[in-house]
Amino acid sequence: MQLIKSDINIDFIGKHNIGYAISIILILLSIGSLIVHKGPNYGIDFVGGTLIQIKFSQEVAVGKIRDGLSNVGLKDASVQNFGLAEDHEFLIRTSNSEMTSKGLSQSIAQAVKASTGIDPEIRRVEMVGPQVGKDLRKSALLAIFYSLLFITIYISGRFEQKLILSAVTAGSLMTAVYFLSVFNVSIIVLITAALVVTLILFWVLQLKYAMGAIVALLHDVVITVGIFSILNLDFSLPIIAALLTIIGYSLNDTIIVFDRIRENIKGAKTASALPLLFNKSINETLSRTILTSLTTLIVLFALYFLGGEIIHNFAFAMIVGIFVGTYSSIFVASPIVLAVSKR
């Protein structure tokens, strides 16, 4: 099946400055939102606390639920609708993680029944201690960081035959970040510094394909996290799983384009011929790229609209990631490889 003719010739490389501008605007908005909100809206997985899902047999005012929670000392608890309005379900979040799940849920059920006059059904209780949440947040950041560096080792070995050089560079950065994190140095500062050093080293060592890949993947992750921050959506462990999946998907798409670029530039005799060959490579893989993205999005939209509230944010993160990942393979990764190749 071919949606796009093989002889199509869209000037993607000629429009790379427009692509850069769009990416920079999205990244600045994402970083700005993260700074204003002091990070993403972490769920209880990362900050600790208790989440309780309750269901009523009829319509209940949120204010009455809050009144009941105040009566048992949970003034800091947040209450929000969950699912469809006719389901009469709510999520209660509180920083209290000291009581047992049974004791806390019973106290809340009794207090809410007294304030609303309706006996609620406790459907779900999740509890995470504050230290556990902190450790999970650190582990999630390290998982994303390590996956990015392992990817650069693979890319360098496959496309540039510089496996050992890339492995030593990435391994040194991983080791430094790990040992410094043991001494309670901020993990966010460490990873940010390590990624900046990585990009500088790749530029100096001319690991062009690895540099193009890691910049594109960072672009995808930052924008996806930024959109969650802008929309104030819960950032939980399933979203980390979505981000790692997005990294894998985006990398697969990027590798297809890189393979064609490597084949086409073998006969290039001058640097002036490179833009035409890069553009040709992107156009030759465009049909496959669009077909892969469309079929994946069909499944994700089905999950988003039919999968229920539990999987809602995961599916949304994946949808955003597929759009951004497809875009970055064409307008971010390839132009960066071209820029380093010219150098």
d(CA 335, CA 13): 7
Going from N- to C-terminal start, the domains of the chain cover 13-43+132-342, 49-128
What pLDDT is attached to residue 33? Answer: 93
Contact between 30 and 222 (Cβ < 8 Å): yes
The kind and range of the H/E element at 234 are strand 234-235
d(CA 303, CA 296): 11
- Percent of the residues in the chain that have a pLDDT greater than 90, as a whole number: 21
Both tokens of residue 165? 């050089």
What pLDDT is attached to residue 284? Answer: 87
What pLDDT is attached to residue 47? Answer: 77
What pLDDT is attached to residue 325? Answer: 92
What pLDDT is attached to residue 266? Answer: 77
Which fold, 13-43+132-342?
Multidrug efflux transporter AcrB transmembrane fold (1.20.1640)
d(CA 71, CA 278): 66
**Secondary structure (3-state) at 316:** helix
What pLDDT is attached to residue 265? Answer: 81
Contact between 75 and 94 (Cβ < 8 Å): no
Q: For the domain with range 49-128, which CATH number is right: 3.30.70.1450, 3.40.50.720, 3.40.50.2000, 3.30.70.3400? A: 3.30.70.3400
pLDDT tens digits, residue range 70-84?
A: 777 776 777 888 877
Contact between 225 and 30 (Cβ < 8 Å): yes
What pLDDT is attached to residue 97? Answer: 60
Tell the residue number behind the tokens 């560096």, with chain if given: 149
Residues 6+ apart with CB under 8 A from 337: 208, 209, 211, 212, 258, 261, 278
Contact between 246 and 221 (Cβ < 8 Å): yes
d(CA 52, CA 108): 9
Q: pTM for the full model?
A: 0.84
Residues of the chain short of pLDDT 70, as ranges, are 1-7, 75, 96-103, 130, 132, 185, 267-272, 343
Which residues are registered as beta bridge partners of 94?
A: 50
Tell the residue number behind the tokens 């010219």, with chain if given: 342
d(CA 296, CA 319): 9
Question: What is the secondary structure of 216-247 as a DSSP string?
Answer: HHHHHHHHHHHHHHHTT-EE-HHHHHHHHHHH
pLDDT tens digits, residue range 145-188?
A: 888 888 888 888 888 888 888 888 888 888 887 777 777 767 77
What pLDDT is attached to residue 343? Answer: 67
